[in-house]
Chain A
Amino acid sequence: MLNVREMMACPNCGVSMRAMVFPALFAQKGEIDREDHILAENEAGCFYHPGKKAIVPCAECGRFLCALCDVELGGKHVCPTCIDSGKKKGKLKTLENHRTLYDDIALSLSIMPLLFFWVTLITAPVSLFFSIRYWKAPSSIIPRTKIKFIFAFILSSLQIMGWTLFFMNIIPELI
């Protein structure tokens, strides 16, 4: 019943289902040779484990790595230290599992408060701040345009202009 095109009843529970399996299901994990010591004088050793034979240099820092320290990430061989620092600094995109959508925040701050008009006195400058401050900040990993930032910028600017005109008319009357 595996890898068939039509739905079939599960032999266990009778639920209609379909399963597509791939060779990875049957693959055995390759054993890392943890006892691969330096055999000859002229062989390079691992930066982190000097007693072990280096097999590859780190693609980020160039340090020699043994089989134990070598981590394959997005086609590159990286050392654990670079992974750690890359994750902290957001350099390694393949390790990122979370991103804040500042453009959505900016747009919401410029649209939602319109329902309670007076709130825009505070939210419009905040939205404008978000639009400018995070213009270059990394947005979503998936393709995304700056259109939300542009709309947020225009809307919040208009709101600020509106408030400026309002106060310009009100203040002379009060004085």
Chain B
Amino acid sequence: MAARAKEYIKLPGRGLKRGSIISIVGIRARLWRGKDHILSVLNFGYFEEYKRFYYKDIQAFTIRKTAVSVIWSFIFIILALFWGAIAMTLELYVSPLVWFISVIFLICLIINIIRGKSCVTSIHTAVGREELPSLGRLKKAVKVISLLEPFIEEVQGKLSSEEIRHLSQEISHEILPAPQPRSGEKPSGYRGKFHKFLFLILLIDAFLGLVSFFQNNMFVSFLSLIFFFAISVLAILSLIKQHNSALGKGVRRVTWITMAYIVVMYFASYIYNVIFIAMENPEAMNNQWKQIEIMSARSPFDDPYYMALLVTGIVSSLLLSASGLALLRSSAGEIPALSEPPPLQYEDIV
């Protein structure tokens, strides 16, 4: 057993193979270090699949930073706040259970933060590129690569810094992903006007949410509805406008997250309307105006679900608008102004 145990040594990092999140058992991935190769193990639950990468064949490792960890943090914050808000308004004998759910999401958030930034790590050989799902976090990926480096260099030797500098220019186009063709178009001169409106209206929406906490009336409810509609339209317009623009990646991501938030809130509001308003007041089922009337008559302090919706909406709007405006401001200086074509000269026309 001792001899067998020495054959492979476990490497840090574990993860799920991409695309397996909805599978029942999940495809768990791990890396093991062998005598002359790295063994990638994909565990499908009742069977395992192996891939061997021999030290002599490994050409490169690439690590690409992703926003997955930030998105997960955002989801965990929303869920923790959602359940926390419900727990605050519930009876004392029920609330500990709901608090527990909120705390679970909070723990998930802390674990996600501790695990660090997310990334995609790939191993390159002469026959192709393979993603290593177990190295999905930057800290672990860097650690594992530095662990493996001496073993690979023992077999292949070491590249001198001079060689790397000289050769990197020649091969950079082979190893790095090719630039994405933008259908031959030049970047538009869009500088984020719609984005600015979107994030400002999100900020106002958060303010309206705060107002409805203390002063919920027909006017505030109606205004919130109009603003939410405006946010939806602006989000779509921003997504169209940001295509092929020189806007920063961060702003683009926040816009996509805003769109996802809008979709989630639409669904949540619809479910709330159907279950808690229309079922209690069947006459309001097909009457939007009546629904607004009922909503404006409600207080978030009497209705835990309304409270949860409101708190989630306020926090999300604030987070999105603040991050969006900050990113827009920081990327504003980086967007090159469209150079005006030189005025036509008499000689050009003639």
A25-54: which have CB < 8 Å to B? Answer: 25-26, 29
What is the CB-to-nearest-CB distance from B156 to chain A, in angstroms, rounded to a whole number?
Answer: 4
Of A7, A21, A24, A143, the contact of B63 (CB 8 Å cutoff): A7
Type the 1/0 row for A8-31, where 1 means its CB is closer than 8 Å to any CB of B.
001111111111111111100100
Chain A proximity mask over B52-74: 1 for CB below 8 Å, otherwise 0: 10001111111111000000000
Is A142 at the interface (CB under 8 A from chain B)? yes
Docked-complex contact B64 and A99, CB < 8 angstroms:
no
On chain A, the residues within 8 Å of B49 by CB distance are: 97-98
State how many angstroms separate the Cβ of A16 from the closest Cβ of chain B: 4
Question: Which residues of B are found within 8 Å of A3, using beta-carbon distances?
Answer: 159, 161, 164
CA A133 – CA B328 in complex, angstroms? 65
B interface residue count range (under 10 / 10 to 19 / 20 to 34 / 35 or more):
35 or more
Q: Chain B 40-59, CB within 8 Å of chain A: the 1/0 string?
A: 01010111111110001111
Q: A132 contacts which chain B residues (CB < 8 A)?
A: none
Number of A-B contacts (CB under 8 A): 123
A contact residues around B164 at 8 Å (CB) = 2-3, 21
Q: Is A142's CB under 8 angstroms from B65's CB?
A: no
Residues of A within 8 A of B56 (CB): 24
Check B180 against A141 for contact (C-beta < 8 Å). Answer: no
CB-CB contacts below 8 Å: B131-166 with A: 138, 142, 145, 149, 152-153, 156-159, 161, 163-164
Q: With A22-B58, A24-B56, A26-B167 as known contacts, state yes or no: A99 contacts B48, CB within 8 Å.
A: yes
Query: CB within 8 Å of B: which of A84-108?
Result: 94, 96-101, 104-105, 108
Q: Are B59 and A143 neighbours in the complex by a CB distance under 8 Å? A: no
B168 within 8 A of A: yes
Docked-complex contact A98 and B48, CB < 8 angstroms: yes
What's the minimum C-beta distance from B24 to chain A, rounded to whole angstroms?
A: 12
Known: A13-B179, A24-B58, A25-B59. A141 touches B153 (CB 8 A): no
Interface residues of A (CB under 8 A from B): 1-3, 7, 10-26, 29, 74-75, 94, 96-101, 104-105, 108, 140-143
19 more CB-based (< 8 A) A-B contacts, given A18-B62, A19-B60, A94-B52: A7-B63, A12-B176, A12-B179, A17-B65, A19-B175, A20-B61, A21-B168, A22-B58, A22-B59, A23-B156, A23-B158, A25-B60, A25-B124, A26-B171, A97-B51, A98-B48, A99-B48, A101-B43, A142-B32
